[in-house]
Chains A and B, each alone.
Chain A
Amino acid sequence: MLQLARWRVILVAVVTVFGILFALPNFLPERVRDSLPAFMPRQTVNLGLDLRGGSQLLLEIDVATLQRQQLDNVADLMATALRDATPQIRYTGRAVVGDAARIRLVDPTQMEAARRALRSVAASPTGGNDIYTFTESADGLVEARITPVHLRELSRQAAQQSIEVIRRRIDPTGTAEVSIARQGDQRVVVQAPGVTDPQQLKDRIGQTALMTFHMVREVDPGDAAAGRLPPGTMLVQPSPDSDNAPEIVERRPRFTGERLVRANPSTDPQTNEFVLSFQLDSEGSRIFCRITRENTGNRFAILLDNQVLTAPRINEPICGGSGQISGNFSAQTANDLAVMLRAGALPAPLTVIDERTVDASLGRDAIQSGGLASGVAALITFVFMILAYGLFGVFACVALIINLTLILAGMSVVGAALTLPGIAGLILTIAMAVDANVLIYERMREEAATGRSPALSIDAGFSRAMITIVDANLTTILAAMILFQFGAGPVRGFAWTLSIGVITSVFTAVMVTQILIAWWFRIARPKQMPI
């Protein structure tokens, strides 16, 4: 083994050079980093919130609401399926009770036909298992329940959609370093470095801006005042800023703000008022074209969070899919509204279940003390190893320095967050990294003690210690993997440093030390082991 294979030397050299290259940006001031040529890496270690200060919110999807919304939907689907069946199946009592959507057949003997008609509702659109289960009773009552699997899927989808919505709400320009990620089936983690007032975050996440388009029903004002509304309509109040009157509108919106692809503030060239111009997607344009054609001369209302923004009269069919909303806006309110509309609505309400804020100066202190502790730990280890093993100790220290460089490079490349426990993991890695060296050296000493020549001892030391090193480090990797599974935030950072550290330390302790010792052996030709 003292005959070094060339590929080993090349591998170590290449890895070390790349390690230095990728670790380097961490030591450069930002100005220098920005002026680096494009081919140079410039990622630095991503500091966790506990080290840089900021806020973290853990949000949970309100699954109960999500379920109710979906059941509403199912009730509609069931009604449509029964209506569209041939012959038509008559039903009454469409409702959502508890965890089930209910519908009652007028004629219970039609149950068989109803079952056939409802088949298409239950089937999953993507194939696979049914997403709803039906229970029937003899008096014609049909109940649909969402399967637990599908409910989880729905909640996962809702969490995924929420991420996008939240991002547009709190970071509309996409410039802030906000990280938003799904956690499990129903949770979203929002991390905002530098934000020390989470209330601001929560306010912006909580803002709802659901825009809906409804047809206005012209009703005798007396009836409306007496609360006698036509079925399927509702009374809506005007938004506080506008001078609209309350309106009676159809309860069911013709379409919602989800159909908006663009919403911008602009000014009306004729009145010089601030208006909101919008563009609908193709489906929205088609619907808008149809309703404006069928209802020319009538009025429609645009509601924002169930308040009338504007209720203009349709003068002619609008088929281009674009339009303007006027609503006594100022430049600011028109702009805010545009931002909110573009962001869309959250698919389900979110509640904050975990909230952490770290002051930036607290983070700076943590880095300082953590850095100091790591430095001292490294120094102690260096001194200890050199005292214990002399020249071989120096080799171990060189390996350790390369190891630390590689860890830094690895963290920068992976983009894993370095947290306070992560720094502790780093310190532990420093101590554990020398373990491989100690194992090798002790083995060499033993072999030398049996009277073997230095060359043979060194060889045997490496090859025999290798099995132990692999066994010992694989177990640490196993522990780190469990930390990943279980870990939240800071602990996950610890798992990252630990696992990157274990891999790099085995590499450096074995490969780097081996090369150094082989070179030394060639030059010194020792007659006896120096340890």
Chain B
Amino acid sequence: MWPLIRLLPKKTNLTYVKFAGFAAFLSIALCAASIVSIFTGGLRENPIEVYQQAEGTPLQRIGAIMEHGFNLGIDFRGGTSLLIESPQPIDQVALEGLGRRAQDGGIEVQGATCRPTNAPPYCAILNFETAPDQAETVEEIRAGLSSVAPGARIANVDSVSAKVSEELFSGGLMALGLAMLLMMAYIWFRFEWQFGVGAMLGLLHDVILTLGVFSFFRIEFTLTIIAALLTIIGYGINDTVVVFDRLRENLRKYKKMPLGELIDLSLNETLSRTIITGATAVFALIGLLFLGGESLSGFAIAMLFGIICGTYSSLYVAAPVILLWGVKRGTGKTDEAQGAPQTAG
């Protein structure tokens, strides 16, 4: 039975469109849940309170709610973060005391997962709210560290000013929005506007769900996650384009077939490709998740979830949207080309 691809039936007759209503309900419900999670900090905060406490224009206040919605990393939150590694167990209370002596207020000590290889076995993260140029503070910590845990040292310092972190946050959101618009424009240009809208809705769906997962599970949201989101958009559109391409081809080929059937046919025809590419990507990313170290695990989670989402949404969001709007069918020769080879240009 080798190669295994022979196990995949050459013709499948799954009826996707029949489930489109249910899928639409599911997608809308999940998107709504994600948005609720983003605006309530994963159901942990009251957005109205956050809005009232925030300063600035209404738009900035809504931005503040969104910032509360995620476990923002140092990139987007601003502040100073020290990674401390030690051969001895670290007394977190003592470390916090040390931090407090070095600087007033806004101090937080986190336990951290240590690096797996050739590193001291104990570590902790010390966060300061203020940044950067906290040279003296860092020096004081460095000097006092031996009293907390002998032999400990600072392995990593990240210090981001509020100005830069705000820019990174808004820049990241802008990049996401811009990417989606560009993709839509490209699809519109290559196909028809209904396809563009379908693709855009599919992408929005992927991004919102991924953001929802990050918000609900409080996974640290860093600059790398923005990169992951953009890649998810790239992958999602890739998947959608493959389906759309086939749909367009079939639209020319079978001019009389009802649109619903046509969509089913196109999805069935591309199914084996969807499965194989999706499976390869998922396997590769699982490797990354377990072997790539802690700093890439967030990225791997985002990508894994996004790819699963992206595959689902090209089947059940992007394509049904076209069914919803209908599409202009060619009026020329009817079904003449059916079954006959067609040279693609």
Excluding A424-B227, A431-B280, A456-B341, 9 further A-B contacts by CB distance (< 8 Å) are A362-B119, A368-B117, A372-B291, A420-B295, A442-B272, A452-B341, A467-B245, A475-B237, A490-B227
Contact B292 A424 (CB under 8 A): yes
Question: In the docked arrangement, what's the CA distance between A223 and B186, Å?
Answer: 79
List the A residue with the shortest CB-CB distance to B139.
A199
Residues in B neighbouring A393, C-beta threshold 8 A: 3
- Chain A residues contacting B273 (CB-CB under 8 Å) are 435, 438-439, 442
Given A435-B277, A486-B174, A531 and B6 contact (CB-CB distance below 8 Å) = yes
B339 contacts the other chain (CB 8 A): yes
Complex formed: what's the CA distance from A385 to B276 in Å?
Answer: 9
Nearest first, the 8 A-B pairs at minimum CB distance are A390-B3, A369-B293, A377-B284, A486-B175, A479-B234, A431-B281, A373-B292, A355-B159
Q: In the bound complex, do residue B227 and residue A431 qualify as a contact, i.e. CB atoms below 8 Å apart? A: no
How far does the alpha carbon of A486 sit from the alpha carbon of B280 in the complex, in Å? 29
A-B contact pairs, 16 of them (CB 8 A): A352-B133, A357-B156, A366-B295, A377-B287, A385-B280, A387-B2, A387-B3, A388-B5, A420-B224, A424-B299, A435-B280, A445-B272, A449-B11, A476-B234, A482-B175, A490-B227
Would you call B224 and A491 a contact (CB within 8 A)?
yes
CB distance from A242 to the nearest CB of B (A): 30
Contact A430 B284 (CB under 8 A): yes
Given contacts A366-B295, A434-B280, A478-B179, contact A464 B344 (CB under 8 A): yes
CA distance A440 to B181 in the complex (A): 29
The reply to whether A384 and B280 contact each other, CB–CB distance below 8 Å, is yes
* A485 to B142 CA separation, bound complex (whole angstroms): 37
70-108 of chain B: CB within 8 A of chain A = 83
Q: In the bound complex, how far is the Cα of B83 from the Cα of A494, in angstroms?
A: 24
- With A427-B284, A468-B245 known to touch, is A463 a contact of B344 (CB < 8 Å)? yes
Q: Is the CB of B234 within 8 A of A377?
A: no
Does A475 contact B234, Cβ atoms closer than 8 Å?
Answer: yes
CA distance A471 to B163 in the complex (A): 39
* CB of A488 closer than 8 Å to a CB of B: yes
CB neighbours of A198 from chain B (8 A): 135, 157
- Pick from B10, B175, B292: contact of A446, CB under 8 Å: B10
* Interface membership of B296, Cβ < 8 A: yes
Q: How far is the CB of A465 from chain B (nearest CB, A)?
A: 9
Knowing A388-B4, A390-B2, say if A381 contacts B283 (CB, 8 Å): yes
For B157, the chain A residues whose CB sits under 8 A away are 198, 355-357
Which residues of B lie under 8 Å from residue A441 when comparing CB positions?
Answer: 5
- Which residues in B have their C-beta under 8 angstroms from that of A431? 277, 280-281, 283-285
Q: For residue B14, which residues in chain A have a CB less than 8 angstroms away from its CB?
A: none
Within 8 A of B (CB), among A170-196: none
Question: Which chain B residues lie closer than 8 Å to A351 at the CB level?
Answer: 133
Q: Are A472 and B242 in contact (CB under 8 A)?
A: yes
- Cβ-based interface call for B200 (8 A): no
CB distance from B215 to the nearest CB of A (A): 21
Nearest to A50 among chain B residues (CB) is B295
Contact between B118 and A365, CB atoms less than 8 A apart: yes
Nearest A-chain residue to B237, judged by Cβ = A475
**Cβ of A202 < 8 Å from any Cβ of B?**
yes
Give min CB distance, B149 to chain A, whole Å: 16
Residues of B with Cβ closer than 8 Å to A?
A: 2-6, 10-11, 83, 115-119, 131-133, 135, 138-139, 154-161, 163-164, 168, 171-172, 174-175, 178-179, 182-183, 186, 190, 223-224, 226-228, 230-231, 233-235, 237-238, 241-242, 245-246, 269-270, 272-273, 276-277, 279-281, 283-285, 287-288, 291-293, 295-296, 299-300, 303, 339, 341, 343-344
Contact partners of B154 in chain A: CB under 8 A: 359
List chain B residues, Cβ under 8 A from A388. Answer: 3-5, 276
Q: Does A149 contact B (CB under 8 A)?
A: no
Given contacts A463-B344, A486-B171, A488-B223, contact A475 B5 (CB under 8 A): no
Minimum Cβ distance to chain B for residue A299 (Å): 41
Determine if A202 and B135 form an interchain contact, defined as CB atoms under 8 angstroms apart: yes
For residue B10, which residues in chain A have a CB less than 8 angstroms away from its CB? 445-446, 449
Query: How many CB-defined contacts (below 8 Å) exist between A and B?
Result: 251
Q: How far is it, in angstroms, between the C-alpha of A485 and the C-alpha of B283 when the chains are bound?
A: 31
Query: Which residues of chain A are near B159, meaning CB under 8 Å?
Result: 352, 354-356
Q: Decide yes or no whether A392 CB sits under 8 A from chain B.
A: yes
Q: Which of B115, B174, B186 contacts A475 (CB 8 A)?
A: B186
| Closest residue of A by beta carbon distance from B293 | A369
Q: For B116, list chain A residues within 8 Å (CB).
A: 365, 369
CB distance from B20 to the nearest CB of A (A): 23
State whether the Cβ of A530 lies closer than 8 Å to any Cβ in chain B: yes
Query: Are B227 and A491 interface neighbours, CB within 8 A?
Result: yes
> In the bound complex, how far is the Cα of B288 from the Cα of A381, in angstroms?
13
In the assembled complex, the Cα of A390 lies from the Cα of B6 at a distance in Å of 10
Q: Which of A321-379 contact B (CB under 8 A)?
A: 351-359, 361-362, 365-366, 368-370, 372-373, 376-377
CB distance from B214 to the nearest CB of A (A): 16
CA distance A358 to B277 in the complex (A): 36
**In the bound complex, how far is the Cα of B273 from the Cα of A283, in angstroms?**
73
Q: How far is the CA of A376 from the CA of B290 in the complex (A)?
A: 10
- A369 and B116 alpha carbons, distance in the complex (Å): 9
Q: Which residue from B238, B303, B343 sits with its C-beta under 8 Å from A435?
A: B238
* Interface residue? A411 (CB, 8 A): no
Partner of B291, one of A355, A376, A487: A376
In the complex, which residues of chain B have a beta carbon less than 8 angstroms from the beta carbon of A377?
Answer: 283-285, 287-288
Q: Which residue of B lies closest to A436 (CB)?
A: B277
Nearest-neighbor residue (CB-CB) of B174 within chain A? A486
Contacts of A202 in B (CB 8 A): 133, 135
Q: Is A455 an interface residue (CB 8 A)?
A: no
Most chain B Cβ neighbours within 10 Å, of A353, A376, A463: A353
Chain B positions within 8 Å of A389 at CB level: 3, 5
Complex alpha-carbon distance, A476 and B168, angstroms? 22
Q: List the B side residues contacting A487 at CB < 8 Å.
A: 227
Contact flags A231-256 to B (C-beta < 8 A → 1, else 0): 00000000000000000000000000
Q: Are A482 and B287 closer than 8 Å at their CB atoms?
A: no
The one of B164, B242, B341 in contact with A468, judged by C-beta atoms closer than 8 angstroms, is B242
B-contact 0/1 string along A389-419, CB 8 Å cutoff: 1111100000000000000000000000000
Check if B158 sits within 8 Å of A380, measured CB to CB. no
Q: How far is the CA of A495 from the CA of B227 in the complex (A)?
A: 8
CA separation between A460 and B340, bound complex, in Å?
12
